[in-house]
Structure 1
Amino acid sequence: MQALMAQAAVLGQRLKDRKETVAVNESSSGGLVSAALLSVPGASAYFMGGAVVYTPKARVLLTDIPREALAGMRSSSEPYALLLAQNARERYGATWGISETGAAGPTGNGYGDAAGHTCVAISGPVEMVVTIETESDDRAANMEAFAAACLRMLEAATEPA
């Protein structure tokens, strides 16, 4: 968690300097993305809110994504991750939306993805999405790796030109 907090400190300062905000929809990272971003003093200047969207029921209750928007889409996929990031940005009125959806382990998910599989996305002035495979069944290590990937993606998107 210390490494995540260090990443978030750099990002938090960058977001504050740019007067930008962020919102999070995360799943198998279990809230670590939000926790890291909130560990920075003054986080209220840039952190708008977030949700751990771990189950279909949580998705309905926390995101209000219409069923039609999910047609032909499955969890733990790049299109779904991007939809979650867009949803976070729009619902909270944030500059950036971050999302993560995957299988932390020790087993895979019901879609055939192995433990250590996740898709992370950001939505904002630029959009990015990537699939990550850690090839590990270590749940806690995967959760940290997934959260770190989210923070790295936001860092890359917000790097000064």
Structure 2
Amino acid sequence: MDELEALAAEIGEKLKARGEKVAINESSSGGLVSAALLSVPGASAYFLGGAVVYTPKARVLLTDIPREALEGIRSSSEPYALLLARNACERYGATWGISETGAAGPTGNGYGDAPGHTCVAVSGPVEAVLTVETGSEDRSANMRAFAAACLRLFDKALG
């Protein structure tokens, strides 16, 4: 968690200095992105909230994304990650929305993705999306790698 907290501290300082806010929808990282951002003293100045959107039912209950918006989009894909990031930004009234969606392992998901596959996205003044393939079946290591990838992409978008 040390790497995640270090990344989050840098991000937190940038957000506080700019007066910007962030919200998150994450999945297979299991809340690690939120935990890292919240580990920074003063996080309430920039962290508005988030959700672990781990199942289709959770997506319905926590994001209220209309079924029509999902047509032609599958979970664990770049378009889905961007949809989740945009949703977090809009629902919370945040400057930035970030997201993660993937397959932590030890097996893949129902969409044909191997363990260690995730997509992360940022939505706000700029948008970015990235697919990560760790090549590992280690669930815990993948969860940390996914959270780190999400935070690194967000830090890059912040400039």
Which TM-score band (shorter chain)? over 0.9
Percent pairwise identity:
80
Matches within 5 A, 1:25-104: 25-104=25-104
Give the distance between the partners of 1:157 and 1:76, measured in 2 at CA: 21
SS in 2 for 1:154: helix
CA shift, 1:21, in A, is 0.6
**Aligned residue type for 1:48:** L
Q: Which residue of 1 aligns with 2:110?
A: 110
Give the distance between the partners of 1:10 and 1:74, measured in 2 at CA: 32
Unaligned runs of 5+ in 1: none
**TM-score, with structure 1 as normaliser:** 0.98
Alignment RMSD (CA, Å): 0.4
CA shift, 1:2, in A, is 1.2
Unaligned runs of 5+ in 2: none
Aligned residues: 159
Deviations along 1:75-128, one digit per CA (max 9) or x if unpaired, are 000000000000000000000000000000000000000000000000000000
Q: Which residue of 2 aligns with 1:2?
A: 2
Q: Which runs of 4+ in 1 moved over 3 A?
A: none
Give the distance between the partners of 1:130 and 1:152, measured in 2 at CA: 11
**TM-score, with structure 2 as normaliser:** 0.99
Give the distance between the partners of 1:56 and 1:137, measured in 2 at CA: 23
Deviations along 1:18-72, one digit per CA (max 9) or x if unpaired, are 1111000000000000000000000000000000000000000000000000001
**Aligned residue type for 1:34:** S
**Aligned residue type for 1:37:** L
